Structure 1
Amino acid sequence: MSNSLPSSVDITVIGAGIVGVACALQLARQGLRVVVVDQQDPGRGASFGNAGHLATEQVFPIADLSILKRLPGMLMDPMGPLRLDWKYLPRALPWFIRLLLNLRPEPFQRTVAGIRALNEGSLGAWQRLLKAIARPQLLKEDGSLLVFERAESLQAIEALQARMREQQVPVEMWPTGAIREMAPQLSERIQGGLFYPRTGHFLDPYQVVCELVEAAKASGVQFVKQRVESGQLHENGVSLATDQGSLATRQVLIACGAHSAKLTAALTGKHVPLDTERGYHLMLPHEHKRLPFAVTSLERKFIMTPMAGGLRLAGTVEFAGLEQPPNMERAWQLHRLSKGLFSRDLNAEDAIPWMGFRPSLPDSLPIIDRVGNGKVLLAFGHQHLGLTQAAVTAELVAQMAVLPTSSRVPSGLMPLEAYRLDRF
């Protein structure tokens, strides 16, 4: 990435993660002069370590009302799948109260409808994007599997299948025989599972970002390595102050994930309740060909995704903010959770732990909007679905960017009311 600022810019994208880079490429294809600004190299934040799963089946928010019963465990168990650091509780409490309010029936249904709308467009958007850069092989469209081990879990699996069908999510009940045939290295403890045929996985999420960056550069996008510290709206556009200078731009897109709240407040006056799901993964470089597709454990609550670099174990959530150091023991816990899921235990030699910040809003929906008379575009808060929804978000942003200055976003693009900034 360059450290110099271009002299003439139509739109500046703040954030070089998967959402920001995908948006930058689509904006450039609209004929706009685009610059991407980030304090680190593209794809080195949350986009580097996601689970790699194209999770179009995940139409329900991360929590339901059972979270109230689980709260003591969330505070006391540092290795639990959903963890709230007790030291962070005073800061997190207002966010969690809003989360609980959004779990009431009416807002919960709005959330599900909003997630589902984006997810239904995600696979097609990724197919179009990867085809446009001649890299369709980066995505394996081979489905994913949710398995269960305990006979008493069958009722929960059947209930989930019914809920998925209500939301028109393609899903199939697989008996043990079908699982043995497709994933023979899984343990005989597996009782069955749900197969989602309209999902897939990326062979290397970081490579996806890098390929999009190269395509964006070929389309004229410039990448600048600086930290944006503040911004201000003017009659003719936006001025941004960075740690190395200033930048004038006609429009700005805020797409810097969990770090988006401060700049959004500076440019819009709106303080969004953005927090972070700290996600961990453990990469096993010596594990190839164990699984044909991503497999999630119902009881153990984590996912295993086969990638070019090995097998990635991921899926736990920790609420502890942006400042506390990572607890890498949570990453190693993923290997312990895998024991018993295979006929032969996974090889953790040379395993690499990782932690990243996933931006999360209390209604589990992103902000995708155009405000400030069209000068400020917003695309952040995708929680654990940033990779899944990046391509469809980029298509929406590219359409919003070229609307006339005073226009609101037309509802014909998608039911975008659910993602507006002014819902907060």
Structure 2
Amino acid sequence: MLDNRQPEIDIAVVGAGIIGVACALQLARQGRRVVVIDQQEPGMGASFGNAGHLATEQVFPIADLSILMRLPTMLMDPMGPLRLDWKYLPRALPWFARLLLNLRPAAYQRTVAGIRALNESSLGAWQRLLANIDRPQLMREDGSLLVFERAESRKAIEGLQARMTQQNVPVDCWSADAVQQAAPQLSERIQGGLFFPRTGHFLDPYRVVCELVEAAKASGVTFLKRQVRDGQLQAQGVALITDQGRLAARQVVIACGAHSARLTQALTGKKVPLDTERGYHLMLPHEQDRLPFAVTSLERKFIMTPMSDGLRLAGTVEFAGLDRPPNMQRAWQLHRLSRGLLRHELSAEDATPWMGFRPSLPDSLPIIDRVCDGRVLLAFGHQHLGLTQAAVTAELVAQLVSPIYLPQPLGLPALAAYRLDRF
């Protein structure tokens, strides 16, 4: 039976990660009564352990057609940079089949255009958001560096530079001397690299979430620690069934990352092909100030990001679903990968490993949409770019919430590429 009572809550945001919290803050500042619901404390999911890199340069999907040739290695090498757990293979095959379809030329170009549009707006959106909470110092806009060590990799670097230039990604080619001058702690074996001046990083990604939470609370947002088990459309909005009872709201924003598919299907009837890239990091607390900016290795396929609490090594991808326990050897493998990349070996004393779930769709684009007559808003599926695209996603969701859209900030991308009905 439909519930015709007017809900007291304007908007329920399901998910207290960086995207959900940023959305809640934007909506509360529009005068909305907002509640954020998550079974964990805010920021304790993927937002806690991301690489901290604002990866605006990463406009290409993580996979290309070479993934077919790499499939045997992905299955057999538990420590490889791209890993597919063989026990998960039957469940993963339909997703990978759709991934391959999206690597066809026209579909691939649509994906690149969609990623690029969000990334080009991301730094500006973060500048606005952090300025609004008076915390601009949380973000460092000091660029990032992709290095290579083998002479035979130069062709790949030059090809990547050409592709990025074609996509209007700001990029500079650095010689070995330029690398040494900017980051003298790196090994003399490094042949050169690509520097991306329009990127940055956070000194503490978790603190960013916490600061946004405090600003949201000050704007009237309520945070509830509950598990959302189901949802139903109602005449006046949406009813969420939680482990502590029902909660009604006029609108709901689904922003619970890799856990978004079930609630989306319950409310919209659409089965979304959402999977998870399980990402690992290793935090090295005794390596503050080792690097001036984030550094990625082309051959070793991982990133090192300097943070206030040390150096974070991150970057592996594992497809094994939401239920299998983490393989923390993958996190410790990151320290082994770092050997030889710097002049002096990184200290792993008191290091802490971590694993989290990155929500991924087979076309590498998020879903940002308004469906069910405006009662359901969707903001998930950002794969490894959730941190990068969180602020711009919040601005887009704020545009979608009201039937009369707010004036659009300059530079926001059009939403056609991120619609739910593309699946």
State the Cα distance separating 1:8 from its structure 2 match: 1.8
Mapped partners of 1:329, 1:355: distance in 2: 11
* Residues 1:134 and 2:145 are matched in the alignment: no
Question: What is the match of residue 422 of structure 2?
Answer: 423
Instruction: Please state how far the C-alpha of 1:289 moved relative to its aligned partner.
Output: 1.1
Take 1:345 and 1:217, find their aligned partners in 2: how far apart are those partners? 43
Contact 2:18 2:387 in 1 (8 A): yes
Is the aligned partner of 1:94 residue 2:120?
Answer: no
2:255·2:380 contact (CA, 8 Å) conserved in 1? yes
Amino acid at match of 1:384: H
Aligned counterparts, 1:401-416, within 5 A: 401-404=401-404, 414-416=413-415
Task: Write the mapping of 1:175-194 to structure 2, written as runs, cut at 5 A.
Answer: 175-194=175-194
1:390 matched to which residue of 2? 390
**What amino acid is aligned across from residue 423 of structure 1 in structure 2?**
R
**Match status 1:270 vs 2:270:** yes
Counterpart CA distance in 2 for 1:288 and 1:387 is: 22
Aligned to 1:298: 298
In structure 2, C-alpha distance between the alignment counterparts of 1:172 and 1:30, rounded to whole Å: 40
What is aligned with 1:242?
242
Q: Which residue of 2 aligns with 1:39?
A: 39
> SS of 1:61's equivalent?
coil
What does 1:182-221 align with in structure 2 at a 5 Å threshold? 182-221=182-221
Per-residue deviation at 1:102? Answer: 0.2
Aligned to 2:170: 170
SS of structure 1 residue aligned to 2:324: coil
Amino acid at match of 1:279: G
Residue type at the aligned position of 2:174: W
Aligned partner of residue 120 in structure 1, secondary structure: helix
Amino acid of the residue matched to residue 249 of structure 1? A
**CA shift for structure 1 position 414:** 2.5
In the alignment, the residues of structure 2 paired with residue 381 and residue 102 of structure 1 have an alpha-carbon distance, to the nearest angstrom, of 15
Native 8 Å contact 1:279 1:356 kept in 2: yes
My pick for the range that moved more, 96-105 or 412-421, is: 412-421
Residue matched to 2:258? 258
Match of 1:315 in 2: 315
* Deviation sequence 1:144-196 (CA, Å, 0-9, x none): 00000000000000000000000000000001111111100100000000000
C-alpha contact (below 8 Å) 2:121/2:412 kept by paired residues: no
Alpha-carbon shift at residue 415 of structure 1 (Å): 2.3
Figure out how many residues of one structure are paired with residues of the other and give that number: 414
Q: Quick one: distance in 2 between partners of 1:150 and 1:290? A: 23
Give the ranges of 4+ consecutive aligned residues of structure 1 lying more than 6 Å apart after TM superposition: none
The residue that corresponds to 1:331 in the other structure is 331
CA offset digits 1:366-399 (Å, max 9, x no partner) = 0000000000000000000000000000000011
CA deviation map 1:346-367 (0-9, x unaligned)? 0000000000000000000000
Question: After the TM superposition, which residues 123-162 of structure 1 pair with which residues of structure 2 at under 5 Å, given as runs?
Answer: 123-162=123-162
Give the Cα–Cα distance (whole angstroms) in 1 for the partners of residues 91 and 353 of structure 2: 27
How far the C-alpha of 1:243 sits from its partner, in A, is: 0.2
SS in 2 for 1:250: strand
Q: Secondary structure at the match of 1:370?
A: strand
Superposition deviation, residue 413 in structure 1: 5.5
Match of 1:3 in 2: none
**Corresponding residue number in structure 2 for 1:108:** 108
1:3-25 deviations in Å (ceiling 9; x for gaps): xxxx7210000000000000000
What's the secondary structure of 1:10's corresponding residue? strand
Whole-angstrom distance in 1 between the partners of 2:12 and 2:102: 33
5+ unaligned residues in a row in structure 1: which ranges? 1-6
Question: Is the 2:121–2:413 Cα contact (8 Å) retained in structure 1?
Answer: no
* Residues 114 and 415 in structure 1, CA contact (< 8 A), matched pair in contact too: no
Alpha-carbon shift at residue 234 of structure 1 (Å): 1.2
User: Structure 2-normalised TM-score?
Assistant: 0.97
**For the Cα contact (< 8 Å) 1:85–1:318, is it kept in 2?**
yes
Structure 1: distance between partners of 2:358 and 2:98: 18
Partner Cα distance (1:171, 1:413) in 2: 22
Deviations 1:275-296 (A, max 9, x none): 0000000000000111000000
The 3-state SS of whatever aligns with 2:125 is helix
CA deviation profile, 1:16-50 (whole Å, cap 9, x unmatched) = 00000000000001110000000010000000000
Say whether the 8 Å CA contact 1:204–1:308 is kept in structure 2. yes
CA contact (8 A) 2:14 2:20 kept: yes
Secondary structure at 1:378 match in 2? strand
Distance 1:378 1:269 in 2: 13
Deviation of residue 402 (structure 1)?
1.4
The Cα offsets for residues 114-135 of structure 1, whole Å up to 9 and x where unpaired, read as 0000000000000000000000
State the alpha-carbon separation in 2 of the partners of residues 415 and 87 from structure 1: 39
**Residue 51 of structure 2 contacts residue 305 of structure 2 at CA under 8 Å; is this kept in 1?**
yes
**Paired position in structure 1 for 2:3:** none
Q: Deviations over 1:399-424 (max 9, x none)?
A: 1101249x9x9xx9632111000000
Instruction: For 2:157, give the aligned amino acid.
Output: I
Alpha-carbon distance in 2 for matches of 1:238, 1:310: 43
Residue 370 of structure 1 is matched in structure 2 by 370
Distance of 1:30 and 1:104 partners within structure 2: 41
Q: Which residue of 2 aligns with 1:60?
A: 60
Q: 2: distance between equivalents of 1:56 and 1:277?
A: 19
Aligned AA for 2:55?
A
Q: Which amino acid aligns with 1:362?
A: P
Contact preservation (8 Å) 1:230, 1:240: yes
Matched residue, 1:232? 232
> Once the 2 structures are TM-superposed, how far is the Cα of residue 320 of structure 1 from its aligned partner?
0.1
AA of the residue aligned to 2:130: L
Say yes or no: does 1:82 pair with 2:86: no
1:413 and 1:187, CA in 2 relative to 1: closer, same or farther beyond 3 A?
A: closer
Q: Aligned AA for 1:415?
A: A
Q: Secondary structure at the match of 2:316?
A: strand
Measure the CA separation in 2 of the matches of 1:78 and 1:350: 24
